[in-house]
Structure formats: structure tokens, C-alpha cells
Amino acid sequence: MTAVTVIGAGLAGCEAAHALAKQGIDVKLFEMKPKRRSPAHKSDSLCELVCSNSLRSNKLDNAVGLLKEELRMLGSLIMECADQTAVPAGGALAVDRQGFSALVTERIANDPHIEIIHEEVTSVPNGPVIIATGPLTDGALMADIEAMLGDSLHFFDAAAPIVSLESLDMSKVFRASRYERGNDYLNCPMTRLEYFTFVRALVEAETAELHEFEKTKVFEGCMPVETMAKRGDMTLAYGPMKPVGLDDCKASNGKKPFAVVQLRQDNSEGTLFNIVGFQTNLKFPEQKRVFGLIPGLENADFIRYGVMHRNSFLQSPKHLAATYALKSRPLTFFAGQITGVEGYIESASSGMTAGIELGRLVRGFEPIDFTRKTAIGALAHYVSEYNGGSFQPMNANFGIMEQLPDAPRDKFRRYTALSERALTEMKRIITEEELWK
Ligand SMILES: Cc1cc2nc3c(=O)[nH]c(=O)nc-3n(C[C@H](O)[C@H](O)[C@H](O)COP(=O)(O)OP(=O)(O)OC[C@H]3O[C@@H](n4cnc5c(N)ncnc54)[C@H](O)[C@@H]3O)c2cc1C
């Protein structure tokens, strides 16, 4: 059987190589470390966690907890090594960073189907390949991918937080677009006092540390909301929070608002909204605390926090199928953060999917549709089918999954029901489709 090339031995590449090997396929796994490193990678091990050692929630009422459980059902190498190297972290799964990477490295190195080659790949090879080189992909390989796609890889250095619609206090939020151009936006009106309290909290909030390589890029083209607020107390009121064109909008004192925060729909289902103009570098708990001062957002669920770092990703809805294969080159697959999934476990999830699907393709089997009932399938469908405005990276969340026909109103019960259905669906796929046959 033809050997398959996997480029990049991070979360996605290691999971993909393991899924291919599990199907009896020989894999050449290229990793440029230790000869060359991105500015964020420090260790010589495979599957390095470049920042936090938390893989986030481990509970089934949380979509990333569900994603983990689905990966476990599929025999994920990443989950097996994470569970074995877990450290106490409440309801989250955090790992001993070095122990985790060392265990993945050992498992990959001892797999008779996988050959690790410590070389930088500088062009997209012909033949079956999975490109899993991460958000910091650069140099010759990046140039070749761009030439192949006729597209510049989106260079993204700031994102505003995304909240779920159902977590908003709609008694304080108005639906309207400025100047009576429909009612597409959600508007959170503020009194004068609420505005100045918010601005004070924003300028005093703690920001996340920026990596050296990010500093020059970050502040050229986009300005974090906290930086804007530091320019003057009224900067936001004349900028993204200007209260104009919203005549029906009333603040909590019943008067015309002093300032307005707008939320824009972020997915076609209308379950997720981003905070317009609020790209930020605040630490995640600070985002929850400070943005929680916005009327209507007191108990908001942050599906994705605002982040600022370099993040190159494909315009996947244009280029990828839900198998993570290129529509224009069926043997060329992508996996990991470069496809527009966001996060460690999401990257492993796309690596698992790409590994299974490419393995089936070279073995002559039909692809599998993981469906939007599973978290793994919902991510794959999201990145390949998103049809909203600008495509931005996405964490696992219940908002992108197929909704339940008679969903319980209570959020905990609804999320648990979505998880139960997902695990039943995954079990069906594994048995009915004879996944590993
Ligand atoms: C600064 C920063 C902080 C982050 N913090 C977090 C966080 O706290 N939590 C979180 O969930 N996510 C975080 N992320 C996102 C994180 O990058 C992903 O979640 C995850 O690491 C992506 O996995 P991946 O396999 O796609 O890429 P990576 O883990 O980056 O792996 C890519 C691998 O490919 C190798 N490679 C690259 N180019 C080549 C080449 N040409 N030839 C051969 N090998 C190559 C690299 O050396 C690397 O080992 C952060 C990202 C950045 C940049």
C-alpha cells in the first residue's frame, strides 16, 4: 500500500499519523524541530503544547468535553496520553506538559508503521499527504501552499470574543441595525455611568503577555479595544460604541443611550454573536469580568475569547471538503489549526478526521460523514461549509452542532442531551461504518 506523508508533528499531525497507522498504512512523519523552530516552539519533543497546559473542560455539558469523549471512542492517541499524564485541574483536563509530549513522542517513535523524519518540508509533495504545520506555518512551504491555492493564507492577529445568544439577558438587549437598515445587530445600550465604569475597568484590566514575535505585527493593522480606551475616556463612545442611528434603543434609565455595544451574528444558525470592534488582548478571566459589565452580557458564555497572536489559516470553506481534503486535489489533506479549527483538542480532532478519511481513501473505502450531530463532525462541517461574512477560526461549541428538535429549555439539560445524542451517533458510526475495517 502507498505510504502517506504527514507534515508537522503537533497535535494534529501526531493524531493523523496514529489514525493512519491504525489502518495499517505506513506513514512518513516530517517534523522540522529541532533543526528549525517556530518562535513559539521550545522543546524537542513532538506534540508540544505551546502555551497553556490546559486542554479545557472534561465534562459532557461542555462541547470540548464532548469532543474529548468522542476522540476517546475513536481510540485517540492524544487523549490516551493526556489522560495518562493528567494533573489535578477541577472539571478541566490539564496535563503535565513535558510528560504529555514525551509520552506522545515515545508512542509515535515505537509505532512500526511510522517513520519520523526530522526535516523541514519546503513544498507540497505529490501523492497522499496531510499538511498539519500549525498556525505559525511560514517560509517556503507557506509560499507553495499560497501558490497552489491562488490565495494568500489569511493572516489573522486579533479576534473579538464570541458569546452564545442564549446566555444573553435579552431584556436589556435591542435588535436593530443602525439607521433603520434592518435588525441584524444586537445592541447593548449603556447609561453615562455604565459607560465610564466600563471604560475604567477596561483600562485597568490585566492584559496577556505578547510573544516577542507578535509585538511588531499586532499593533500595525488592528487596535485592541483596551488600547483604544487608553487614548481617552471618550474614544470608544466616538468609535465602536457610538450611540448613533439607533433611535428606538433605550438605556436602563429609559433614556437615549450614552454608548452602545453591538453584537454581530457569527454563524448561519444565529446562535453565536461576536462583539463588534472588541478585538482584545485582555487575559481570559479579565474578558469575562470586564465585558460582563456590558448590559445584557452579565452571564454571557464566552464561546471563544478574544485572542491576539499570529494565526495563518486557509479560507477553508472555499478550499476544503468536510473530510479536510482539498476540493481541487483529493489526495492533499490539511489538519489542525491551519484549517481554521481553534485549540489543542480541536486540532487533534481534525487530525483524527483527516487521518481516518485519507486512510479510507487510499484503502479504497468511501469517506465517512461524522455529521453535525457529533462535535467532531460539526467542526469539520463548520470549517468546510461556513457561509457567513469573514471566516474566522472556531472552537468546539454546541452552537455549530445540529440542534435538537425538542430541545429542553434548561441549558444544562440541553447540552447534556446534545452530548448524549452525539455519543450515540458516534457509536453508530463506529459500528455501522466499520470505521477501522
Ligand atoms: C502563541 C500561541 C499560543 C497558543 N495558545 C494556545 C492555548 O493556550 N490553548 C490552545 O488550545 N491553543 C493555543 N494555541 C493554538 C495552538 O497553536 C493550537 O491549539 C495547536 O497547537 C495547533 O496544533 P497543530 O497541530 O495544528 O499545530 P502545532 O501544534 O503548531 O504543530 C505544528 C508542527 O509542525 C511543525 N512544522 C511547521 N512547519 C513545518 C515544515 N515546513 N516542515 C516540517 N515541520 C513543520 C512545527 O514544528 C510543529 O511541531 C496557541 C497558538 C499560538 C501561536
Residue 187, SS3 per DSSP = strand
Of 189-198, 200-209, 428-437, where does the model show the most confidence?
A: 189-198
Q: Which of ligand 1's atoms lies nearest the C-alpha of 52? A: 8
- Cα 15 to ligand 1 centroid, rounded to whole Å: 13
Ligand 1 pocket check: which of 115, 133, 136 to mutate, most ligand atoms within 8 Å of Cβ?
133
Report how far apart, in Å, the C-alpha atoms of 234 and of each of 172, 197, 221, 253, 296 are: 23, 12, 22, 20, 22
- Cα 257 to ligand 1 centroid, rounded to whole Å: 43
- DSSP track, 223-271: --HHHHHHT-TTHHHHTTT--TT-TT---TTSSPPSEEEEEEE-STTS-
Question: Does the reported pTM lie above 0.95?
Answer: no
Residue 119, SS3 per DSSP = coil
Residue 336 has pLDDT above 80, yes or no: yes
Architecture of domain 4-157+310-432: 3-Layer(bba) Sandwich (3.50)
What are 160-196's pLDDT values in tens digits?
A: 899 999 999 999 999 988 887 778 889 999 999 999 9
How many other C-beta atoms lie within 10 A of the C-beta of residue 266? 27
Could you tell me the three cell numbers for 398? 454546541
Domain coordinates of the chain in residue numbers? 4-157+310-432, 162-304
Atom 29 (ligand 1): residue with closest C-alpha? 10
- DSSP track, 311-380: EEE--HHHHB-TTSBBSS-TTEEE-SGGGTB-SHHHHHHHHHHHHHHHHHHHHTPPP---TTTSHHHHHH
- 269-302 b/e (C-beta count within 10 Å ≥ 16 → b): eebbbbbbbbbbbbbeebbbebbebbbbbeebbb
- Cα 338 to ligand 1 centroid, rounded to whole Å: 9
Binding site membership of 266 for ligand 1 (Cβ less than 6 Å): no
Q: Provide mean pLDDT across the span 23-50.
A: 93
| Cα gap 155→162, rounded to integer Å | 19
Report how far apart, in Å, the C-alpha atoms of 269 and of each of 175, 265, 421 are: 16, 9, 19
In 64-185, the DSSP E strands lie at 86-87, 92-95, 114-117, 129-131, 154-156, 162-164, 174-175
Decide if 4-157+310-432 and 162-304 have a common fold. Answer: no
- Cα 137 to ligand 1 centroid, rounded to whole Å: 9
Q: Provide mean pLDDT across the span 61-65.
A: 96
- Cα 366 to ligand 1 centroid, rounded to whole Å: 30
**pLDDT value for 427:** 97
Closest CA to 55 of 354, 392, 347: 347
Residue 154 has pLDDT above 70, yes or no: no
Ligand 1 pocket check: which of 337, 338, 394 to mutate, most ligand atoms within 8 Å of Cβ?
337
| Cα gap 279→175, rounded to integer Å | 22
Q: Provide mean pLDDT across the span 410-418.
A: 95
Residue 409 has pLDDT above 60, yes or no: yes
Residue 26 has pLDDT above 60, yes or no: yes
Residue 8 has pLDDT above 50, yes or no: yes
Cis peptide before 34 (omega within 30 of 0): yes
Binding site membership of 211 for ligand 1 (Cβ less than 6 Å): yes
| Cα gap 164→186, rounded to integer Å | 12
Q: Which of ligand 1's atoms lies nearest the C-alpha of 211? A: 1
What angle, 0 to 180 degrees and rounded to 10, lies between the N-to-C axes of helices 344-363 and 63-73?
Answer: 30
Residue 211 has pLDDT above 80, yes or no: no
10: left (phi over 0), alpha (psi -120 to 50) or beta: beta
| Cα gap 17→10, rounded to integer Å | 10
CATH class of 162-304: mainly beta
- Cα 135 to ligand 1 centroid, rounded to whole Å: 6
Q: Provide mean pLDDT across the span 248-276.
A: 89
Phi, psi of 86 (to 5 degrees): -65, 145
| Whole-number percent of the chain with pLDDT over 90 | 73
